[in-house]
């Protein structure tokens, strides 16, 4: 997701931390309810709350009723607008900082079970032997049954040096396994790089956090200052769910010398914010092969769209997620947060990718060669499959989307390791998309060297 005005970020839940940043108040907020229709609606709402409070079979708290009513109202607008309780708002605020106090695991809740997706390399959980696929059944002696994921995150995150105990169920082990872990500062690397072969680099960006652009620039400078000049770059944004808007703009700017990167348009069509590229100290004119997938969303789509429209990179993979909207987070008086979609964003050519995604120049579905066979990716859940998704343009008619039961791509352990662990050249080259991108860059260099155009 992209959040603007008060903060900017995009949406797997990682036990991470982050900060918000502010960009200019482009959009006016008019919270007055001065129309007759609004007044009548609010009066009816108050009457309903009063009637429920006095007549419902069980006692209900008016505050809880109001919160649920607001949540229902906001969530009915689109999939990315919601009311955040104070705890969830705090998690959102720290989600892109790049480091946090915790035990070092990536978690999710497939089938409603709190599951370890991957331990992060060289963290307390990794060193203690917590494994991918472990199901966490207790945290500090408290059962995780019915626990929300943000509640679990909050219990495991905290100051360095404090102890956290977890109990896990592991496939093939009859009894729960107990771990007593001491929290440490957990760094999350959003940028990882490796040389695939002399002169050809590979950079993986897993999300867009506060240091992503500067870390990417450092990785580029290191590659560019090697014994051989950089002849080509594979930029991997597959399964990158997004992050901070300003970082997406800065990353795009590293490869562009001028022109529009992105424009943002809200309800008032005369209020348009345009971000343009600035001339770089280092001109990067080597070819780029940029990889995307159905899990590439928001910030990663901004980068892919900008480089594609400026013909600065060739896009390889499958159509991206298609989240082309911007959210703002407003802190409310009780400490909760209102996350609201306020704008659509557009690529340099003026194209909205909302519910459509970035279409690759070369369509190539991912396959991993493992155990003498190729394992193909499954179809992704896309923005267009989400209930109440926005249309690509405000004036376009809504089109009925067939219901999609697919819950997204199932990741193998090796894929998770490549995202959160150390890059391995041999494993990367077993990935058909990476191999194709490298061969494309090498072929381009050979053709250029021989004067073929």
Whole-angstrom Cα distance, residue 296 to residue 382?
A: 10
Residue 434 tokens, joined? 């990476």
Q: How far is CA 203 from the centre of its chain?
A: 17
Residues lower than pLDDT 70 in the chain: 1-34, 94-98, 369-381, 386-387, 394-421, 453
pLDDT tens, residue by residue, 371-417 = 656 566 656 667 777 667 888 776 543 333 333 333 334 444 444 44
The pLDDT assigned to 411 comes to 45
Q: Give the predicted TM-score (pTM) of the model.
A: 0.75
Whole-angstrom Cα distance, residue 304 to residue 24?
A: 24
Q: How far is CA 390 from the centre of its chain?
A: 18
The pLDDT assigned to 453 comes to 65
**Any alpha helices (H) in 76-146, and if so which ranges?**
86-93, 124-128
Torsion of CA 227, 211, 157, 124, to 10 degrees: 10
Strand-pair partners of 288: 233
Neighbours of 198 (CB within 10 A): 9
Q: Are 297 and 321 in contact (CB under 8 A)?
A: yes
Whole-angstrom Cα distance, residue 366 to residue 411?
A: 12
Strand-pair partners of 376: 367
Q: How far is CA 324 from the centre of its chain?
A: 13
Residue of 333, 264, 247, 279 lying closest to 24 (CA atoms): 264
Q: Kind and range of the H or E element at 22?
A: none
Of the chain, the end-to-end C-alpha distance in Å amounts to 40
Burial of 155 (0-12, 13-18, 19+ CB in 10 A): middle
Which residues are tagged catalytic?
298, 309, 323
Whole-angstrom Cα distance, residue 296 to residue 243?
A: 11
Query: Residue holding tokens 């990716």?
Result: 377
pLDDT tens, residue by residue, 177-202 = 999 999 999 877 889 999 999 999 99
The pLDDT assigned to 4 comes to 46
The pLDDT assigned to 26 comes to 31
Whole-angstrom Cα distance, residue 263 to residue 354?
A: 13
The pLDDT assigned to 383 comes to 77
Domains and CATH numbers, the chain: 99-187 (2.30.42.10), 191-449 (3.90.226.10)
The pLDDT assigned to 95 comes to 61
Burial of 46 (0-12, 13-18, 19+ CB in 10 A): exposed
Q: Are 368 and 412 in contact (CB under 8 A)?
A: yes
């Amino acid at each position: 997701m992209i959040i603007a005005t008060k903060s900017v970020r995009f949406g797997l839940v990682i036990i991470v931390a982050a900060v918000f940043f502010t960009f200019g108040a482009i959009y006016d907020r008019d919270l007055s309810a001065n129309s007759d229709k609004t007044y009548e609606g609010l009066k009816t709402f108050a009457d309903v709350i009063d009637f429920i409070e006095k007549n419902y079979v069980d006692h209900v708290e008016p505050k809880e009723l109001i919160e649920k009513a607001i949540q229902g109202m906001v969530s009915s607008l689109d999939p990315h607008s919601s009311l955040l309780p104070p705890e969830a708002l705090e998690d959102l605020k720290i989600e892109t900082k790049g480091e946090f106090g915790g035990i070092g695991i990536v978690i999710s809740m497939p089938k409603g079970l709190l599951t370890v997706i991957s331990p992060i390399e060289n963290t307390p959980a990794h060193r203690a032997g917590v494994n991918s696929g472990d199901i966490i059944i207790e945290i500090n002696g408290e059962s995780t049954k019915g626990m929300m994921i943000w509640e679990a995150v909050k219990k495991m995150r905290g100051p360095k040096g404090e102890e956290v105990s977890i109990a896990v169920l592991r496939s093939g082990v009859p009894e729960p396994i107990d771990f007593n872990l001491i929290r440490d500062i957990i760094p999350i690397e959003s940028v990882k790089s490796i040389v695939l072969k002399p002169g050809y680099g590979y950079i993986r960006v897993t999300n867009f956090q506060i240091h992503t652009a500067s870390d990417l620039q450092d990785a580029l400078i290191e590659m560019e200052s090697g014994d051989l000049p950089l002849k080509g770059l594979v930029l991997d944004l597959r399964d990158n769910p997004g992050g901070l808007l300003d970082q997406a703009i800065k990353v795009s700017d590293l490869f562009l010398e001028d022109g529009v990167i992105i424009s943002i348009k809200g309800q008032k069509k005369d209020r348009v914010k345009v971000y343009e590229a600035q001339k770089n100290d280092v001109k990067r004119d080597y070819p780029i092969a940029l990889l995307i997938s159905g899990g590439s969303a928001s910030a990663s789509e901004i980068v892919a769209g900008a480089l594609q429209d400026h013909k600065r990179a060739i896009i390889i993979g499958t159509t991206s997620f298609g989240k082309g909207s911007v959210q703002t987070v407003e802190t409310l008086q009780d400490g909760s947060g209102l996350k609201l979609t306020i704008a659509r964003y557009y690529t340099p050519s003026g194209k909205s990718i909302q519910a459509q995604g970035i279409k690759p120049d070369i369509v190539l579905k991912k396959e991993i060669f493992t155990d003498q066979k190729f394992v193909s990716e499954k179809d992704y859940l896309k923005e267009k499959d989400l209930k109440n998704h926005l249309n690509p343009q405000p004036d376009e008619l809504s089109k009925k989307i067939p219901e999609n039961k697919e819950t997204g791509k199932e990741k193998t352990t090796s894929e998770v390791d490549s995202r959160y662990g150390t890059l391995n050249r041999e494993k990367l080259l077993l990935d058909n998309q990476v191999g194709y991108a490298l061969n494309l860059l090498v072929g381009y260099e050979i053709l250029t060297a021989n004067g073929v155009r």
